[in-house]
Amino acid sequence: MTTDAESESDTDADAPGTYERFEKHVKRYHYVGDAGGVLQWDQEVMMPDEGTPARAKQLSTLSTVSHEMLTDDDLSGWLDELDGQNLDEGQRANVRETRREHERAVKVPSDLVERISETTSNALPVWKEAKAEDDFDAYADTLEEIIQLKREYAEAIDSDRDPYEVLFEEYEPYLGLDTAEQILERLRDELVPLIDDIDDSDVELADPFSGAYDEADQEELVRAALDTLGYDWDRGRLDTAPHPFSTGTQFDARVTTRFQAEDPLDAVGSTIHEFGHATYTQGLPREHYGTPLGDSRDLSVHESQSRLWENHVGRSRPFWELFADTVDDHLGVDAAPGAFYEAANTVHPDNLIRVEADELTYHMHIVLRFEIERDLIHGDLDVEEVPQVWNEKMEEYLGVRPDTDSEGCLQDIHWTHGSFGYFPTYSLGSVLAAQLYAAAEDDLGSLDGQIREGNFDPIHDWLTENVHAHGSRYTTDDLIREATGEEFTADYFLDYADAKYRELYDC
């Protein structure tokens, strides 16, 4: 509180005091969350096998502490007091984001939170076993129970609205489910014919890789990729994890990757993807660490950063013109840049597994999951119908039918975790990546030459200035408008995909 403020009226004099107390509390809430992030990273990357029981207790305690901070009565009071106060734009953003999280959290009874947590914990081994045994029936009751609980959860938050919309907003609060639906429908309507044409094409793309590649060599290669792209090692590190992820803060944003002996492009692509997430995190304003202003926007925006680097940079022709020699240096694969470019962009409609899908067919895997999970939450689809509907949609969208549910509707962990409404954000991220990349090129001119020369500063700077530096200052829709001058649209992604793949497959 300043001395000046003390001479003002009571109400005004209270305002800065309230905001400061509010902000201190918000920071503690964020710091506890980030501490949990370190524990999770450690669990995935470093923890010995038998550490799980203790780690589960530590994490669930941090999560309880965090929940108590978010639903705290003092916080309610401060949010009430700050309502209508004369705050600056940044302060208003911190209040808006905290209020949104707070209001959702206080609406959900703690016994429901506990039941969801317990049910999804217990569901994990059931799902694993069902997947291993290809036995959907053994999992069906569990899935039904989770769906019921998630409906209850949505109803607790807002019983007047579409429960799937309420769940979707957990991951993407500002884009609107209607916008998401329109975009996913356009992807389905326009990508299915494109994929069909590719399937009919006689073109065989090059594959310069053969045999198995040493893990240590692959690691050197992906480290070289991170060096090339400008990863800030003083604020990050690279490790391996079974399911690659990125985590951390603007002071310490870490990347993980994995290695498949016969497919070095998997490690390269997945490393560049996680690098994209990490550069977003590293680009968040350090002075706002611990508040929404210093925190990333939601899942689609985060995914747009990973997809932009993975696809628009890492799967581009100029990138492979730059990077082909490095592959030769580390793996002894002497091929023309065009051959690597083709290998990185080969479309496999017959692939059944989402996480192994190419840039294009990936979205059909998402559309399918979106349609099924929405109908499940709405009660328009019974759990026992899932395998059949899954397989029919695979046939319809990709022309391929899984032989087993393990390779079909049992492949992903998300529903078992209780995550309904999460899948769409993957595709929305790709779509946004294309829109942002087009806006960057609109401002900077074509980036091909810069990429070919290994100069990634312009695109880094553009993304930092237009996305990263804002943290959660803007709502997601406003952020997109500010950065691109347009509403969120699938136009750029569809144009990009059409041009790129029709050229590659001559179709």
What does the binding site for a copy of itself look like in residue numbers (CB under 8 A)? 27-28, 31-32, 34-36, 38-39, 42, 46-55, 57-59, 61-62, 64-65, 233-237, 249-252, 254, 286, 289-290
Contact 244, 256 (CB under 8 A): yes
Query: How far is it, in rounded angstroms, from Cα 248 to Cα 278?
Result: 8
For residue 289, the minimal CB distance to a copy of itself (Å) is 6
Edge-to-edge order in the sheet of strand 252-257: 238-240, 252-257, 246-249
Residue 363 marked in a binding site: no
For a copy of itself, the closer of residues 55 and 186 by Cβ is 55
Which long-range contacts does 194-197 make (Cβ < 8 Å, 24+ apart)? 194/360, 194/497, 194/498, 194/501, 194/502, 195/347, 195/349, 195/360, 195/361, 195/364, 195/397, 195/398, 196/399, 197/502, 197/505, 197/507
Does 243 belong to an annotated binding site?
Answer: no
- Least separation, in Å, of the C-beta of 505 and a copy of itself? 42
Q: How far is CA 279 from CA 60, 215, 272, 275, 276, in A?
A: 29, 25, 10, 6, 5
Would you name the residues annotated as active-site residues? 274
Closer to a copy of itself by CB, 17 or 51: give it. Answer: 51
Alpha carbon of 335 to those of 40, 57, 191, 209: distances in Å? 40, 51, 31, 9
Nearest approach in angstroms of CB 282 to a copy of itself is: 10
Instruction: State the DSSP code for 350.
Output: T
177-200 vs 491-505: helix crossing angle, rounded to 10 = 10
Specify the residue for token string 């954000």.
425
CA distances from 41 to 84, 257, 271 (A): 40, 13, 16
CB of 165 to a copy of itself, least distance (A): 34
Contacts of 466 (CB under 8 A, 6+ apart): 436, 439, 440, 482, 483
Residue (128 or 237) nearer to a copy of itself, CB: 237
Strand partners, 239: 256
Shortest Cβ 326–a copy of itself spacing (Å)? 23
What's the min distance (Å) between Cβ of 483 and a copy of itself? 26
The candidate with the shortest Cα–Cα distance to 354, out of 408, 415, 421, 311, is 408
Please report how close the Cβ of residue 58 comes to a copy of itself at its closest, in angstroms: 4
Q: Among 342, 438, 393, 371, which residue's Cα sits nearest to residue 192?
A: 393
Phi, psi for 292 (deg, rounded to 5): -55, -35
Beta carbon nearer to a copy of itself, 62 or 147: 62
- Which 8-state DSSP code applies to residue 408? T
Return the number of the residue (58 or 76) whose C-beta is nearest a copy of itself.
Answer: 58
Residue 67 marked in a binding site:
no
**What is the four-CA torsion angle of 165, 169, 172, 176, rounded to 10 degrees?**
50
Residue among 69 and 347 whose Cβ is closer to a copy of itself: 69
DSSP structure class, residue 309:
I
Q: Considering beta carbons, is residue 250 or 304 the nearer one to a copy of itself?
A: 250
Q: What is the CA radius of gyration of the chain?
A: 24
Say which amino acid occupies 234: D
C-alpha separations of 263 from 105, 229, 266, 330, 363 in Å: 43, 21, 6, 14, 22
Supply the minimum distance, in Å, between the C-beta of residue 52 and a copy of itself. Answer: 7
Asked if residues 492 and 435 have their Cβ atoms less than 8 Å apart, the reply is: yes
At 420 the three-state DSSP class reads coil
Nearer to a copy of itself, 291 or 306 (CB): 291
**Known binding positions for Zn(2+):** 273, 277, 303
